[in-house]
């Protein structure tokens, strides 16, 4: 790896050199943030801007943000396809919230001011707590696979040019259009839904393995996994966790733990507080029309076992998060592991060192994408210079009658279950 300090890099860029060489210490510009609070992300990548989804949306939330000191703040750790967009919108962040800009009542949304998501770490290392939203690792990876599956090559090139090469290599150059085929062909070396039409190539098998391990970047939500977000935390970070399957109960427990109102969420207000969002409209996906399996998330027992085997280290990281969580007791942790046993069997009980594959060494990945104030890879700086602030998604369109819309919703990938699960 080539390591350089931010200050050294700054001297090579004329627009920044005057700042770096001035008498005052280097400060984050925060020129794209809603408030005048410095952005930790912009302190790490001084030539980059904070994406819109990382910011609080409503004017009220932006004003509250200014009143919370860094040591009282909570960092929201958003692991993709774990239900985090739903929770993030309730916390007041942009994400995939459509026109919903209202932050929920309570102490937790007020104090959760910053976010760590994928390659955008915008949190204070001295934050009071780091708030995870987690979900059964097998269900998360199923949802991630379908969420990023492109409609077609031209659609992918036109709509997501920044992801074109990686997604094309995974979904199109290899025969991984369906979950079952990804596992059967890629992980087990067998034929998939099209029988002998597809020869098993060593290259595609390698792509399949590295994608599920999170060691090479193909689908984004597979690459930026539990291990990445857990190991990206500062040393001795204090963790809080909302389990997707027990969302309402865990939210209430955390709210009370940090000094807020007891049972602030009730069965009556939870549905409105947590609308299911960030679905992929499967009715537009051509793969659905030619899917030979009973449902988009179909996996045979053999494939489920194989995928859990390759997910073993990710399951270990998932359990590490649960066990570090200050708001969860032993019975709640065991409850989630018991639920995982129902789908992944013995792999739910494997610990680090028990898996068939070593825990990946992701030091370079963290330096490249998480970034640190005192050092960052040159490749990371150059890569972040090319990124643009993500536009907010359009508001959801309702098409046809209520019955027709309900039928369409049944085909939408919505993180596997309706939220909140605990109702």
Name the residue among 96, 114, 120 with its Cα closest to residue 56: 114
Task: Give the model's pLDDT for residue 297.
Answer: 93
Contact of 144 with 394, CB cutoff 8 Å: no
pLDDT in tens, 206-235: 999 999 999 999 999 999 999 999 999 999
Q: Which of the two residues, 206 and 17, has the higher pLDDT score?
A: 206
Task: Give the model's pLDDT for residue 102.
Answer: 73
CA–chain centroid gap for 355, Å, is 24
Contact of 227 with 360, CB cutoff 8 Å: yes
Q: Which residues pair with 413 in a beta bridge?
A: 280
> Angle at Cα 236 formed by Cα 314 and Cα 141, nearest 5°?
15
Task: Tell me the pLDDT band of 51, cut-offs 50, 70 and 90.
Answer: confident
- Using alpha carbons only, how large is the chain's radius of gyration in Å? 22
| Phi, psi angles (nearest 5°) of residue 295 | -155, 160
Cα separation, 161 vs 334, in Å, equals 43
pTM value surpassing 0.85: no
CA distance to 8, 118, 121, 170, 367, per residue, from 371 (Å): 15, 11, 7, 26, 5
**To the nearest whole percent, how much of the chain has pLDDT over 70?**
74
Work out whether strand 112-117 and strand 120-121 pair parallel, antiparallel, or are unpaired. Answer: antiparallel
Instruction: Output the six-digit token pair for 107.
Output: 């102490």
CA–chain centroid gap for 122, Å, is 14
**To the nearest whole percent, how much of the chain has pLDDT over 90?**
53
Task: Give the model's pLDDT for residue 383.
Answer: 58
Task: Give the model's pLDDT for residue 94.
Answer: 82
Burial class of residue 289, CB neighbours in 10 A (0-12, 13-18, 19+): exposed
Task: Give the model's pLDDT for residue 275.
Answer: 63
CA distance to 27, 117, 181, per residue, from 6 (Å): 11, 21, 44
Task: Give the model's pLDDT for residue 274.
Answer: 74
Q: Which whole number is the average pLDDT over 345-357? A: 97
3-state SS class at 76: strand
Q: Which residues pair with 116 in a beta bridge?
A: 77, 121
* pLDDT reading at 153 higher than 50: yes
Q: Which whole number is the average pLDDT over 79-106? A: 84
Q: Which whole number is the average pLDDT over 388-415? A: 45
Give the alpha-carbon dihedral of 202, 298, 342, 148, to 10 degrees: 70
Instruction: Output the six-digit token pair for 60.
Output: 């009220």
């Amino acid at each position: 790896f080539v390591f350089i300090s931010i200050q050294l890099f700054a001297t090579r860029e004329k627009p920044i050199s005057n700042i770096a060489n001035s008498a005052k210490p280097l400060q984050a510009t925060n020129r794209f943030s809603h408030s005048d609070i410095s952005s930790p992300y912009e302190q790490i990548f001084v030539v980059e801007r904070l994406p819109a989804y990382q910011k609080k949306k409503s004017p009220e939330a932006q004003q509250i943000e200014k009143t919370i000191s860094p040591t009282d703040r909570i960092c929201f750790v958003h692991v993709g396809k774990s239900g985090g967009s739903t929770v993030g919108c309730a916390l007041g962040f942009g994400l995939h919230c459509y026109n919903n800009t209202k932050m929920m009542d309570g102490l937790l949304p007020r104090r959760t001011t910053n976010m760590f998501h994928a390659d955008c770490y915008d949190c204070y290392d001295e934050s009071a707590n780091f708030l995870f939203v987690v979900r059964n690792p097998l269900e998360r990876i199923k949802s991630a696979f379908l969420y990023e599956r492109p409609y077609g090559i031209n659609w992918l090139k036109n709509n997501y040019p920044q992801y074109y090469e990686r997604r094309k290599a995974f979904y199109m150059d290899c025969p991984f259009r369906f979950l079952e085929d990804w596992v059967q062909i890629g992980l087990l070396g067998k034929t998939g839904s099209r029988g002998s039409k597809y020869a098993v190539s060593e290259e595609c098998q390698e792509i399949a393995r590295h994608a599920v391990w999170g060691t090479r970047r193909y689908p984004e939500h597979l690459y930026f996994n539990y291990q990445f977000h857990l190991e990206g935390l500062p040393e001795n970070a204090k963790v809080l966790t909302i389990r997707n399957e027990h969302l309402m109960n865990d939210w209430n427990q955390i709210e009370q733990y940090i000094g807020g109102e007891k049972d602030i969420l009730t069965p009556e207000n939870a549905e409105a507080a947590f609308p299911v969002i960030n679905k992929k409209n499967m009715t537009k996906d051509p793969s659905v029309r030619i899917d030979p399996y009973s449902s988009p998330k179909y996996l045979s027992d053999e494939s489920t076992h194989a995928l859990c085997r390759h997910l073993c280290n990710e399951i270990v990281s998932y359990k590490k998060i649960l066990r570090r969580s200050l708001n969860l007791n032993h019975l709640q942790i065991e409850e989630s592991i018991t639920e995982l046993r129902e789908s992944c069997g013995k792999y739910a009980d494997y610990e680090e060192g028990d898996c068939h594959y070593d825990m990946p060494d992701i030091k370079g990945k963290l330096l490249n994408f998480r970034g640190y104030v005192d050092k960052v890879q040159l490749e990371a700086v150059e890569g972040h210079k090319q990124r643009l602030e993500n536009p907010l998604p359009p508001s959801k369109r309702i098409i046809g009658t209520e019955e027709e819309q309900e039928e369409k919703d049944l085909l939408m990938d919505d993180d596997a279950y309706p939220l909140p699960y605990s109702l």
